[in-house]
Structure 1
Amino acid sequence: MERAPQIIMFLLLSFHFGVAQNATRNGGADGFPVGVILDLQSLVGKIARTSILMAMDDFYVAHRNYSTKIALHIRDSESNNVQAASAALDLLENHNVQIIIGPQKSSQASFLSDLGNRSQVPVISFTATSPSLYSASLPYFVRATLNDSAQVQSIASLIKTYGWREVVPIYEDSDYGRGIIPYLADALHDIDALVPYRSVIPLSATTDEIREELYKLMTMQTRVFIVHMSSTLAASLFTKAKEVGMMSKGFVWIMTDGITNIIDSMNTSVVEAMNGALGIQFYVNKSELDSFTIRWTRRFQIDNPNDPPLKPSIFGLWGYDTIWAVAQAVENVGVKTRTSFQKPSVARNSTSLENMGTSVYGPELLKVILKNKFSGKSGYFDLSNRQLQVSTFSIINVFGKGWKDIGFWNEGNGMLRQLNLGKSRMQSAGSVSDLNPVTWPGNSTEIPKGWEIPVSGKKLKVGVHKSAYKEYMTNERDPITGVIKASGFSIDIFEEAVKRLPYALPYEYVAFDTSRDTSTGSYDDFVYQVYLKKYDVAIGDITIRYSRMAYVDFTVPYTESGVAMIVPSKGIVDKTWIFLQPLSRNLWFATIIMFVYTGSVVWLLELLGKKRNVREPIPRKIGIVIFFSLFGDNERVERILSRIVLIVWVFFFLVLSSGYTANLATMLTVEQLKPTISSIDEVRKSGLNVGYHDGSFVKNLLEDLNFNTSKIKAYDTPDDFYNALSKGSNNGGIAAFVHEVPYIKLFLAKHCKEYTMVGPFYKTAGFGYAFPKGSPLLGDISKAILNITEGDSIMQLQKKWVGYQNDCKSVDSALGSVSDPDKLSVDSFKGLLILTGVASTSSLIIAVMIYLYEKHKTMIRMQPDQNGEDLEENDKPQEVNGGGRTEENNHPGEGIGQSGQIQEETRGQEMGNINLQRSNFRRNGSSLIWRERNHGARVAPISSSSHF
C-alpha cells in the first residue's frame, strides 16, 4: 500500500495518463458529470454496475421534475491498480467529473483518495472496506460501506460464546486482507483468545500453494480459522480445504462479510464446499425487497446474458443507495456556472498532477452528501461520519446449497438469538444453548472444541517431578520398555481429570532431570520447562505462585492452601483441676466480688427495714449474707428492694452457670493437643531454630519475616525434620518446622499424638498444574478438577494416599479443625455484671434515703410546740399534791377520804388505758412515746425499762 502511489505516479507520467475509455451513459455532455470506476469483469463489479444503472432510472422516474441530472462515465479498472488510477485521471482531466464513485478495491482507493484531495472531488466507494483508508488526511474520501473493523467485535463475541481459546486468521496478502488484522488481534486479545499463527495467501497463489498451506495448518493444534479474503480466492481456498479433509468434524471456519455478503451469488459447488462454516453478514430486512429483487434479477440478466441469474448482494444495495444520495446532492447544489474546475493561475512545465485544477462544486457537494440521510434499500443510509455506521450483523451457517441464521449481533446488545426490531427488549444469547443449532463441518451437530492433537503429531508431553513425599508423586522408568511410570495423589487427580474430558487426550509422562536425584531439584526450574516448550504440561505438588504465573498458566488448585508450623504438643490436658478452666481468672474474681457485694447489699436493706433476724453476731451475719446471696426466700426477705436485687442476681447466676456448664462439657469430651509454641513471632523473638523443606519457597518467606539466617535450617525428607523436631532447638535440632498445609496434613497423619499445627499464618493458592500461556487445555482441565474436588472422588483419593494411622482420631482434628474452646471472660458477662451492680447499688441508695427521711420526720415530732411553752392545760396530766389532792379539784366540803378514792379510781383507769393501748407505743431510741387514741394527749417520756 505504501509503495502503490509512487509506482502509480511513475507509470502515469510514463504513459501520459493512458488511454481513456468511452463507456459513457446519457451522453455526458448535457448532464452533471459523475465518474464510476469498477472491476467490470468481477462478480462484485457486475452486480454493482447493474445496481447503479437501475438506481439512475428509478431515481429520475421518481423525480421527473428535477432539472439537474447526472451523466455517468463508467470505466473498467480491469482489477489493476494502475488502470484504475489512469481511469481516474482521464475522468478528471478529460471529462471534468465532479464526483467519482469507486473504485472497487481498497488498494485502488488509496491513490484515488489522494487525487480527490488534490482536486477537491469527492471519492465515494461502496466496496473499499480497508480500515486504513479512513483518516483525517483523506477528507474527500467517503466510504458508503462498513469499515472492516466494524465486524471484529461480532467475530470475537462468537468465539467467546463457543469458548474457543486459539484462532488462526487466513487472509489475502493485500491492503484489504491486511487492514483488518490489527483490529482483529485486539478484539481477540480482549477475550483472552490467542493467535498462534497467521496464514497469508498471496493473490497470485496457485492451487498447489493453497494446498501446501492447508497441510501446514493441519499439523497444528488449532482448529478454528477466520477467513478474510476476496470471494474469488475464498472459493479456491474452501474447495481445496474440502479436498484435503479440513471441512470435516472438529474444524471451525468463520468467514468475514466480504465473503458472506455475496454468498448468494457464488457458485453452488463452492457453497457446498463451505458447508458447516459460520459467517458474519450485514443484516438486511429482505422481506421489504421482494419486488426490487425481481426487477433487479431481470435487469442483471439483460446486462449479463452469459451469466447465471443472481440476487442483489449488499454491495449492490449500497451502490443503489449511493447513486440516490449523489443524485439528490447534485439537484440540491445545482449547476450555477459552466466552469466546473479552476486551473492554477500560473501553469508549470511539470507533471499534469501539479497543473490539476480544483472542483468548483466539490466542497459543497461533499457537505450535502454527508448531511443527506434516508432509508434506502440497504437500510438506514447515513454518511455523516464519512462512512456507514455500525449496524446489525447476522450470524449465518452455510448449509446445503444455501445458509441459515443462527443468531444476530449488534453493538448495543451483543449476541442475540432473535432480532425484534422496533421492540425495546431483545432476547440475549448468553451461552451456546441460547443460539440456534449449528450444522458443523462434516455434518456434525457436536460443538468442536477448537483444537486437537494433530494426526501426525506426538502425544501430549506431561512433565513429572519426584517429590519428597511419595504419597503426592513419584516416578520411575520401566527397565524393559523405557516408559516413565508415575503414581501418587497428584497423578491420580490428573488422570481422573483427563478421563472426564469430553474428548480423548493421548499423553505420555516425561521425567524431569533424570540424570540426578530430582527430589532436591528446584520446582521453579521444573515449571520453567513448560515455558521452554519441553513439556506441554507440568503436574505434581507444584505450588501456585505469582512469580511463576509470569511465564505459565495454572489450573485451579486441587489441595488446601496456606503455610503453617509443625510444633511439639504438650499432650492431653490434665483434668484434675479442669472444673476451674471454663471461667477465666478475672471472671472468677469478678463473680466472687459480686457475690459478696450482693449479699452485703441485701443484708443492709433488711437491716434498714428493721428486720430482727439481721441483728445477729458477726459469724451469723456472714451466714445470712451468703444465704441472701444464694437463696433468699420470701420468709427471710421482706422488702421489695431486696427482692429486686435478688431477682437480678439470680438471672446473672443462671446465665453464668449455663455458660460454665457448656464450656466444661466441651473440655471434658474433646481431647485437645496444646502446642508448645503459639505463633511464628514467638519462634523469631525467642531466637529458636526453625526448619523448612530444601528447595521450597518457604526459605524466602522466613527471610522476609526477619528470621536470622543462621537459625533457618533446610531438610530433605520428612524423617530428617522429624528427627530434628525430636531433638529440639537446644540440642541442635529445631523448635518448629514451617511447611505447606498439604504436607503438614500428611505428616500429622503419622505423628498426630506428638505434634500439632499452628497456623496457617501465610496464604498460598495450593497445588496446581502448569500449562503454557493460553493453552486451550487449561479451561477444560480446570473444569474437570473442580468436578473432582466438589464430589466424593477427592475424599476417596485422600483416603487412599493420606489415610489415618497410629490411632489418630482425625487428621483434620490434628490440623486444628476442632479448636480449643475459649475460656469465658469478663467481657462475655460485662453487661450482666454492670446490670447486677447497678441494681444493688441503686436499691441501697434508695433504702438509705428512705431511712434518713423517716428519721428526720421523727426528730421533728419530738420537738415541743410553741417554741418550748408548756402543754395546753387540758392536755396536762393531773398533778397530785403532797396532801393527796390537786389544786384544781380542791373544792370546799370534800373530805380527804373522798379525794383518796378519786385518786385510786383515776389511777386504775390510767392503768387500764395503758394496757389497752400497748400497740400505740413506738420505740424511739430508749424512750417510748404514747399517744392517746381518743384524746391525742401527750405525756412525758417513759423509760424503756418500764414494764407493762
Structure 2
Amino acid sequence: MKNPTNLLSSLLFFFLSLSLFQRSVYAQNAKSMIDVGVILDFDSWVGKMSRSCMSMALSDFYAVNPNYRTRLVLHTRDSKRDAVDATSAAIDLLKNVQVQAILGPMRSWQAEFVVEIGNKTQVPIISFSATSPFLSTIQTPYFVRTGLNDSSQVKAIAAMVQAFEWREVVPIYENTEYGSGIVPYLTDAFHEINTDIPYRSAISTLATDDQILEELYKLMTMQTRVFVVHMTGTLASRLFLKAKEVGMMSKGYAWIITDGLANMLPSMDSSVIHSMQGVLGVKPYIPRSNELINFTTRWRRKFRQENPEIDRIELNVFGLWAYDSIWALAMATESTGVVRAQFEKPLSRDNLTDLAAIGISKTGPKLLEAILRTSFKGLSGEFQLVDGELQSSAFKIINVIGKGEREIGFWTPAHGISEKLNPNDKKMYSASRFDLRPIIWPGDLTEVPKGWEIPTSERKLRIGVPVKDGFREFVKVDRDPHTYAPIVTGFCIDVFKAVMESLPYAVPYEFIPFDKPDGQSAGNYNDLVYQVFLHKFDAVVGDTTILANRSLHVDFTLPFTESGVSMIVPIKDDERKNAWIFLKPLTMELWVTTGAFFIFTGFVVWLIEHRINIDFRGSPSKQAGMVFWFSFSTLVFAHSNFLSTYLNSY
C-alpha cells in the first residue's frame, strides 16, 4: 500500500497543473476589446443606414475571422445635425470612454471641428461622408477619408459639359463648407475646356421658399441655361420643386447634379423625383458582386425590422463605405496588436480644459499608419487609401427618368466618356456625346439644349448703321410704315448677322440708324465712328473705310471687302460653240463684198474661156455652176493648168 502523503501530493500537483492549463487556455482565447467612437445624425436617412451597415459589418468581419485577438466595440453618439453637438460627442468619447478611433461625423462642417480635436489628441478620425475638399488630409494628418473627395468628380462633370459643347455653366450650391468646397475645383475644370462661370448661386440652408424663388427668377433673367447643383438632399428637394414651379424644368434647360445628391435619389420623395425629370448626374461606380447582392438582401430585411415606419429604403454608396470602414479599422487594430487605450496626460493639470486634460494617444500614430496601408476588396470596390483618401476608378452617368434613374454611360480618367465600362479598352480619351445612350432632357425632349437663351430683360448691344443715299446695296435703312421701326438690310448687315449666329452663345443687339428726326443722316462716317468712342454706340456696321484718324478712337475688324474702282460688264452667252464663229472677225458687208468679187471673177473667167475651153461649155446650168465652182475653188488650189488663155492667169 502506497504512502497516503505521496498520494495527496500527486493529486495536489495534478489539480494545480490543470488550473494553470485552463488559465493559459483562457488567456489565449481572451479577446482585447478596442473602444471605437461613432458620431452620426441618428434622425437622418444616411445616419440610420450607416448605423445598420456598421453593425452588420462587425458581425460579418468576426464571423469570417473568428481567431482574431481584437474586437471592436462601437460607442455611438448622436450629433443631432449640429457642429457643436458633434464636437461635444467627440470630447465625451475621448475623455470618458478613451476611444482609440472615431468614425464620423457625417457632415463636412461638423468634421471640421472634430478633425482638429483628433489632430490634437492624435486619435484617427475616420469619415466616409465628409467629402468637402476643404477638409485636407495633408494639413490634418489624423483625418482619414474612407469616401470620395468631392473634387474627384469635377473631371467627369467637365467632360459632360464639353461633350454637349456648352460654353457657360452656373453652379448652384448650398452656402456651407460642403457646398462651397467644390466650387474652386469646378472653376479650374471648366477653365481647361474653355467654359465660363458667369455667376455663382449660393443658397443658404436656412433659405425660405420665397428666397429660393427669388434666386431662381434671378437666374431666369440671365443667358445661361446650364446648371450644376451641389447641395444636400433636403435643400435640393426644395430647389427642384420650385424650379419646376417657375418653368425651369422645361425646354432649353440642362441640369447636372453631383454624386452626393445623385446617391440620395432612391430615398427622395416621388414628387421631388417628378420635378427632376431630365436631370443628369454622376455617381461612383460600384461593381456588382455576389457579396454585394447577398449583403443588400440581408441589410434590407434587417433595416425593415428596425425601421418599419420608413417606406422607401435603398442601400447607397454611403452605407457601403461605412461597412468597408469598419472592416478596414478592424484589420488595422488586429495588425497593430493594440490591447488598450493609452493616453499621455499632461504633467500639470491646473486650469486645464476638458480637451487639454485628455492628453495624447500613444497608440494613435501606430493605428493611423496601419489604417493607411490597409487594402482589400470591399463591398464598394477596391479599398485603398492614397494620401489618406479613398480613390475612385470610374463614375457612372445617370439620367433621371420616370420614377428613378437610368444609366446612360460611364466616365474614367483614362478613356473619358463611354457607353459601356471596359477596363481593357484601348481607345483614346473621349468627350463625345455620341458615346452616351439616348438622353431625355427637361420637358420630355430628346433635343440637346443649346445652353443659352436670350433673356427679355437683358441689355442689347447698340449697333450704329449709316444713313445715306448711295451704295444702298451695302447698307439700306428703311422704316416700317406702321411702327416706324428701322428695317436695316444690305451686304454688311448680312455679314454681321452671320458672325453673330456663329457664336456659341447669344448676344442680343439692335440696329440704330445714325440719323436726325427728319430721317436725314446725322453726319459723315467720321462722326458715326466717333459715336462709339462716346459710348453712344457699342459698335458700327457698314461700309466704313479703315482710316488712320478713325483708328485713334475705335478698333476695326479685318476688312471683308475691298474698296476701289472696278468695271462691271454685262454677261453674254458663250458663242464659241457656234458653227459660224469664223464669220465674226469681218463684218457682214465685207463678207458680201468678198463673195460678190469671187462671183465676178468666175464670170470674167467664164466669159473668156467658154469659147475656146470645152470645160466651160454645156448646158446653162452647168456653165453657171462652173462659174461658182471656179470662183470658190481658187481659195484652196490654183487653176493655171486648167485654163487655156493666159489672160485668166492675171
Q: Structure 2 length normalisation: TM-score?
A: 0.76
CA distance in structure 1 between the aligned counterparts of 2:74 and 2:544, rounded to whole angstroms:
73
Aligned to 2:253: 251
- Amino acid in structure 1 at the alignment position of 2:463: G
CA distance in structure 2 between the aligned counterparts of 1:361 and 1:390, rounded to whole angstroms:
30
Q: Contact 2:344–2:361 at 8 Å: present in 1 too?
A: yes
After superposition, where does 1:805-824 map in structure 2 within 5 Å?
none
Instruction: Flag the 1:233–1:695 CA change in 2: closer, same or farther, 3 A.
Output: same
After superposition, where does 1:148-187 map in structure 2 within 5 Å?
148-187=150-189
Aligned to 2:333: 330
Aligned to 2:465: 465
CA deviation profile, 1:534-572 (whole Å, cap 9, x unmatched): 75x8655689xxxxxxxxxxxxxxxxxxxxxxxxxxxxx
DSSP-derived class of the 2:565 partner: helix
DSSP-derived class of the 2:162 partner: helix
Instruction: Flag the 1:327–1:496 CA change in 2: closer, same or farther, 3 A.
Output: closer
CA distance in structure 2 between the aligned counterparts of 1:518 and 1:450, rounded to whole angstroms:
41
CA deviation profile, 1:772-797 (whole Å, cap 9, x unmatched): xxxxxxxxxxxxxxxxxxxxxxxxxx
Q: Contact 1:417–1:427 at 8 Å: present in 2 too?
A: no
Aligned to 1:340: 342
CA deviation profile, 1:145-189 (whole Å, cap 9, x unmatched): 111111111111111110111111111010000111111111112
DSSP-derived class of the 1:133 partner: coil
Q: Contact 2:53–2:320 at 8 Å: present in 1 too?
A: yes
Aligned to 2:525: 519
1:35 counterpart = 2:37: yes
CA distance in structure 1 between the aligned counterparts of 2:43 and 2:228, rounded to whole angstroms:
27
After superposition, where does 1:489-638 map in structure 2 within 5 Å?
489-495=491-497, 508-511=510-513, 516-517=522-523, 519-521=525-527, 526=532, 539-540=541-542
Q: Contact 2:39–2:106 at 8 Å: present in 1 too?
A: yes
1:425 counterpart = 2:426: yes
CA distance in structure 1 between the aligned counterparts of 2:515 and 2:388, rounded to whole angstroms:
63
Aligned to 2:313: 310
Residue number among 311, 317, 322 corresponding to 1:319 in the alignment: 322
Question: Whose relative contact order is higher, 1 or 2, with alpha carbons under 8 Å and at least 6 apart?
Answer: 2
DSSP-derived class of the 1:485 partner: strand
Aligned to 2:368: 366
CA deviation profile, 1:326-374 (whole Å, cap 9, x unmatched): 01111111234x4521111222313222222111211000000000111
CA distance in structure 2 between the aligned counterparts of 1:254 and 1:538, rounded to whole angstroms:
39
Aligned to 1:442: 443
CA distance in structure 2 between the aligned counterparts of 1:700 and 1:211, rounded to whole angstroms:
43
Q: Contact 1:407–1:415 at 8 Å: present in 2 too?
A: yes
- Amino acid in structure 1 at the alignment position of 2:303: F
CA deviation profile, 1:544-602 (whole Å, cap 9, x unmatched): xxxxxxxxxxxxxxxxxxxxxxxxxxxxxxxxxxxxxxxxxxxxxxxxxxxxxxxxxxx
Instruction: Flag the 1:449–1:176 CA change in 2: closer, same or farther, 3 A.
Output: same
Aligned to 1:141: 143
Gaps of 5+ in 2: 1-30, 573-650
- Amino acid in structure 2 at the alignment position of 1:319: A
CA distance in structure 2 between the aligned counterparts of 1:524 and 1:286, rounded to whole angstroms:
69
Instruction: Flag the 1:399–1:67 CA change in 2: closer, same or farther, 3 A.
Output: same
Q: Contact 2:148–2:391 at 8 Å: present in 1 too?
A: yes
Q: Contact 1:343–1:355 at 8 Å: present in 2 too?
A: yes
DSSP-derived class of the 1:509 partner: strand
Q: Contact 2:467–2:513 at 8 Å: present in 1 too?
A: no
CA deviation profile, 1:35-78 (whole Å, cap 9, x unmatched): 00011111111111111111111111111111210100011100
CA distance in structure 2 between the aligned counterparts of 1:362 and 1:434, rounded to whole angstroms:
48
Aligned to 2:293: 290
CA distance in structure 2 between the aligned counterparts of 1:239 and 1:419, rounded to whole angstroms:
33
Instruction: Flag the 1:499–1:90 CA change in 2: closer, same or farther, 3 A.
Output: closer
Aligned to 2:566: 749
Once the two structures are TM-superposed, the CA of residue 81 in structure 1 deviates from its matched residue by 0.5
- Amino acid in structure 2 at the alignment position of 1:416: S
CA distance in structure 1 between the aligned counterparts of 2:288 and 2:266, rounded to whole angstroms:
13
Q: Contact 1:523–1:695 at 8 Å: present in 2 too?
A: no
CA distance in structure 2 between the aligned counterparts of 1:316 and 1:538, rounded to whole angstroms:
62
Aligned to 2:592: none
Aligned to 1:587: none
Instruction: Flag the 1:297–1:99 CA change in 2: closer, same or farther, 3 A.
Output: same
Instruction: Flag the 1:348–1:464 CA change in 2: closer, same or farther, 3 A.
Output: same
CA distance in structure 2 between the aligned counterparts of 1:395 and 1:44, rounded to whole angstroms:
22
Q: Contact 1:429–1:435 at 8 Å: present in 2 too?
A: no
Aligned to 2:598: none
Residue number among 374, 387, 390 corresponding to 1:388 in the alignment: 390
CA deviation profile, 1:417-472 (whole Å, cap 9, x unmatched): 22113x24258644222321100011000101111123x43685461332997543
Q: Contact 1:348–1:355 at 8 Å: present in 2 too?
A: no
DSSP-derived class of the 1:132 partner: coil
Deviates most, 42-51 or 102-111? 42-51
Q: Contact 1:348–1:354 at 8 Å: present in 2 too?
A: no
Q: Contact 2:525–2:544 at 8 Å: present in 1 too?
A: no
CA distance in structure 1 between the aligned counterparts of 2:289 and 2:524, rounded to whole angstroms:
71
Instruction: Flag the 1:497–1:45 CA change in 2: closer, same or farther, 3 A.
Output: same
Aligned to 1:906: none
CA distance in structure 2 between the aligned counterparts of 1:281 and 1:37, rounded to whole angstroms:
25
Once the two structures are TM-superposed, the CA of residue 474 in structure 1 deviates from its matched residue by 5.0
After superposition, where does 1:715-794 map in structure 2 within 5 Å?
742-744=560-562, 746-750=563-567
- Amino acid in structure 2 at the alignment position of 1:520: N
CA distance in structure 2 between the aligned counterparts of 1:393 and 1:542, rounded to whole angstroms:
54
Greater C-alpha radius of gyration? 1
- Amino acid in structure 1 at the alignment position of 2:40: L
CA distance in structure 2 between the aligned counterparts of 1:398 and 1:78, rounded to whole angstroms:
31
Instruction: Flag the 1:440–1:343 CA change in 2: closer, same or farther, 3 A.
Output: same
Aligned to 1:5: none
Instruction: Flag the 1:518–1:209 CA change in 2: closer, same or farther, 3 A.
Output: farther
- Amino acid in structure 1 at the alignment position of 2:158: A
- Amino acid in structure 2 at the alignment position of 1:321: D
Once the two structures are TM-superposed, the CA of residue 498 in structure 1 deviates from its matched residue by 7.5
Aligned to 1:301: 304
DSSP-derived class of the 1:31 partner: strand
Once the two structures are TM-superposed, the CA of residue 79 in structure 1 deviates from its matched residue by 0.1
CA distance in structure 2 between the aligned counterparts of 1:502 and 1:175, rounded to whole angstroms:
34
CA distance in structure 2 between the aligned counterparts of 1:491 and 1:700, rounded to whole angstroms:
19
Aligned to 1:122: 124
Instruction: Flag the 1:89–1:504 CA change in 2: closer, same or farther, 3 A.
Output: closer
Once the two structures are TM-superposed, the CA of residue 493 in structure 1 deviates from its matched residue by 3.2
Q: Contact 1:417–1:429 at 8 Å: present in 2 too?
A: no
CA distance in structure 2 between the aligned counterparts of 1:383 and 1:478, rounded to whole angstroms:
71
How many residues were matched structurally? 535
CA deviation profile, 1:595-650 (whole Å, cap 9, x unmatched): xxxxxxxxxxxxxxxxxxxxxxxxxxxxxxxxxxxxxxxxxxxxxxxxxxxxxxxx
Instruction: Flag the 1:45–1:541 CA change in 2: closer, same or farther, 3 A.
Output: farther
Q: Contact 2:396–2:411 at 8 Å: present in 1 too?
A: yes
Once the two structures are TM-superposed, the CA of residue 524 in structure 1 deviates from its matched residue by 8.4
After superposition, where does 1:403-414 map in structure 2 within 5 Å?
403-414=405-416
Once the two structures are TM-superposed, the CA of residue 198 in structure 1 deviates from its matched residue by 1.3
CA distance in structure 1 between the aligned counterparts of 2:384 and 2:457, rounded to whole angstroms:
52
CA distance in structure 2 between the aligned counterparts of 1:433 and 1:141, rounded to whole angstroms:
41
Once the two structures are TM-superposed, the CA of residue 269 in structure 1 deviates from its matched residue by 2.2
After superposition, where does 1:912-927 map in structure 2 within 5 Å?
none
After superposition, where does 1:7-86 map in structure 2 within 5 Å?
31-86=33-88
Q: Contact 2:228–2:256 at 8 Å: present in 1 too?
A: yes
Once the two structures are TM-superposed, the CA of residue 510 in structure 1 deviates from its matched residue by 2.9
Aligned to 2:485: 483
Residue number among 216, 219, 244 corresponding to 1:217 in the alignment: 219
Gaps of 5+ in 1: 1-28, 544-691, 702-738, 751-803, 809-948
